[in-house]
Structure 1
């Protein structure tokens, strides 16, 4: 298939406008297109029909916090950055991820005490940065937050001991995200709920959504905590994995940089101990666990990994939905949301083993 061909995906249900409907998807040039314009303006039919065999088509998952995977650590492996990105980008296709933000660990707190210029000195060019985490209690935090926001960078609050008041002040300066809720922040307290309190703060304007990442792997966040977060602020919930370089590695001992890690029973431990050293959850697993733990709808579970992260980054016009004009990045799901295949720009880039029946291609002659 070529980019100029008009593709018609048939025999499928799709997630669009917050509901699942039985409808075809039309793709050309890597974008989802409006078929009415094809029929009435260009008076053409599809070049290729793809029988989806009853699959549910969802936008591809968007991962906003992933530290590495498949032996690659984004914070340490600088010798061949592009190759490391390719390894992870290819590996996570098997878990439905079509877009991701490679995450590097934070610098020491004193770096930010000196203000935004020191941040620039530390990280250099910020042209490719889309989201950063800032501890709002630091002295220069308001200045730093405003400068990031001016550059179109989403500012997240986290790795912090901040009070609710400090969090609210940061939101007023432009912060709009919370890094892995409940983790690396003060625990909830009834007299000062800390950053967790932003989910229900009356100081946050109604037209300003504070999004929050949450790790729904059944290990880092208790199912009850997932339910509290979901019921309190469902439209801001964003599923993240926070996965480390051990993601995708076989069970056993691994040397990851300077750290010896043992992967067993779906968890990564510092070798010889029972101490967790990070998440190795996949996004597809997190979506399923979130749905099961919260009893939310399929739509809510999928949008927490698609539409919400896209909105958090301000890219929802092209990512995270199946609207006309959006990038044709989507996934085929079967029963129980099992992943059948992953598509980017209308091209199949991953197909699950044993799922060759997931799509049938046939060329259609134009009339």
Structure 2
């Protein structure tokens, strides 16, 4: 009998029909069923008219809202592990975080490495491979390398001694990073000499280039985008503040001189970005807003001493600070908290909040044909959430398998049916 619980896998070829639910689809909430087979969301019409069969399993969702799984393109670690410093037990770090974030609704993520010694890149990059998600944890879309090619003046929680220039272009990039086949995104300061050749070189290898940790002005940002950059790392943070004579990288949200619209990450944790700034960003360029956690090792743990790359970090309340300073060092927020903050602080709809963690990051990474929507033939990575009150993740599914259920949640109610032909 096909499985729907969090301890087993679905039988190949089995068809699942999720009923008594609402779907986030095409920018709105609709009353409809969700059909899944072999890890994909499917169109039910051929089931009825061509195959003339019923679903093998029908699941009563008790009026839950079904939305795509969340995608986090910037996360440094969590649950006591830091991807940039725990090189001796890196596989354990990835495994623990990938498993832990299922409870927060994340089904795909980009492990992020902050500015580090060259030896760290050579140790870590070959060992963090792209993986499909499942019961073992969220899928890995590829690495996000945040540095070391950034501005010393806007280093934030990045160690100054390891920040590099790129005067020798891609030769320097390859010497520092080593192999790039596991890399999905690179954050780079667009004002660095030689940067435009590097942007073109990275983009030619299918890597998303993000501008950030930068003193660059708007002209520099526009030139970088027209060379292939397509993302802004944590908007408002670690960049020149908006000025009416030169809005800096923030001005890319409204620029008429760039060849393509940009996406931009934003940390909606109530600490990094004021609610008014969230509202300004969203109302200026709503389709480009991508929620990121920028979470570090303390995510899921609480107050105390933790690690981010080469630094010690002190967590007080909800603030992660470089030890002995007032400099923010990543966040401790989870993606479901980011969505809730965004909905509340920016005054957006539930659909807009969800799309900022699903559709928008998928578009930014160029994977919208696979993830980020409930469209037919996309991966069956989705969530059952309660939207009666603050949004709450009830169940997380990857490739059609239930990989997490909240402990205080009513069990899903499958009603099994035979796959005999319909009359």
- In which range does the TM-score fall when normalised by the shorter chain? over 0.9
Q: Secondary structure at the match of 2:172?
A: helix
Instruction: Give me the TM-score of the superposition, normalised by structure 2.
Output: 0.83
Q: Which residue of structure 1 aligns with residue 367 of structure 2?
A: 315
- Match of residue 176 from structure 1: 230
Contact preservation (8 Å) 1:111, 1:119:
no
Count of residue correspondences:
364
Give the Cα–Cα distance (whole angstroms) in 2 for the partners of residues 316 and 258 of structure 1. 35
Q: Is the 8 A contact 2:107 2:398 kept in 1?
A: yes
Specify whether residues 258 and 103 from structure 1 end up closer, same or farther in structure 2 by C-alpha distance, changes over 3 A only.
closer
Q: Report matched runs for 1:124-203 at 5 Å.
A: 124-203=178-257
Residue 402 of structure 2 is aligned to residue 348 of structure 1:
yes
Q: Hey, what's the Cα distance between the residues in 2 that align with 1:265 and 1:53?
A: 36
Q: Distance in 1 between matches of 2:374 and 2:37?
A: 13
- Give CA-to-partner distance per residue, 1:157-179, whole Å, 9 cap, x none: 00100010000001110111000
1:81 is aligned, of 90, 105, 115, to 90
Stretches of structure 2 lacking an aligned partner (at least 5 in a row): 4-10, 115-146, 149-161
Question: 1:225/1:330 Cα in 2 relative to 1: closer, same or farther (>3 Å)?
Answer: same
Q: Contact 2:69–2:107 (CA<8 Å) still a contact in 1?
A: yes
* Residue of 331, 339, 351 corresponding to 1:299: 351
Correspondence 1:241 to 2:250: no
Moved more, 340-349 or 244-253: 244-253
Equivalent in the alignment of 2:419: 366
5+ unaligned residues in a row in structure 1: which ranges? none
Rate the CA distance shift 1:4–1:244 in 2: closer, same or farther, 3 A. same
Cα deviation for residue 269 of structure 1 reads 3.8
Q: C-alpha distance in 2, partners of 1:200/1:315?
A: 24
Q: What is the alpha-carbon distance in structure 2 between the residues aligned to residue 272 and residue 159 of structure 1? A: 21
CA distance in 2, matches of 1:275, 1:162: 21
In structure 2, what is the Cα distance between the partners aligned to 1:229 and 1:261? 29
Tell me how large the CA RMSD over aligned residues is: 1.7
Aligned residue runs from structure 1 range 200-219, under 5 A: 200-205=254-259, 208-219=260-271
The answer to which of 110-119 and 44-53 deviates more is: 110-119
**Alpha carbons 2:102, 2:403 under 8 Å: kept:** yes
Note if contact 1:51-1:361 (Cα within 8 Å) is conserved in structure 2: yes
Q: Deviations over 1:4-51 (max 9, x none)?
A: 211111110001111110111111111101111111222211111111
Q: Which of 89, 96, 104 is matched with 1:95 structurally? A: 104
